[in-house]
Amino acid sequence: MNKLVLAIINNEDSAIVASALTAEGFIVTKLSTTGGFLMVGNTTLLIGTDEGHLDLLRSTISKYCSKRKQINPSSAAFGRSMKNYDVPEEVVVGGATIFVLDVASMEKL
């Protein structure tokens, strides 16, 4: 069965992940997106594939999407100006969130 994979990854990982997926034979479309929690840029990859290639796709994404810690402004400051008393927060960024959807039909024209 055909699948549509939506992979949401950190902007810092997007170029190498897209290149690695392309090298493995996947056709990748990149969209610029923004996360709702940290309000920072992400990249959402759209990948059409068949069910038999999902393990390769997952392992390739996992190999190049590293989790790391980053200092961000306090989330209390979102939506208003920064204040001197806002304490930066250490958060974990990176990794990937992957959605796999069934596709009734897939054609490359």
Domains of the chain: total: 1
Please answer whether residues 21 and 28 qualify as being in contact, where contact means their C-beta atoms are separated by less than 8 angstroms.
yes
> Helix 54-64 and helix 11-23: axis angle, to 10°?
140
Domain region containing 32: 2-67+94-103
pLDDT band with cut points at 50, 70 and 90 for residue 12: confident
Q: Is 85 domain-assigned?
A: no
Work out the average pLDDT over 34-62: 87
Angle CA 27–29–34, to nearest 5: 145
**pTM, full prediction:** 0.74
Longest dimension (CA), the chain: 56
Q: Please give the pLDDT value at position 89.
A: 73
CATH code at position 22: 3.30.70.120
Retrieve residue 54's tokens: 């999902």
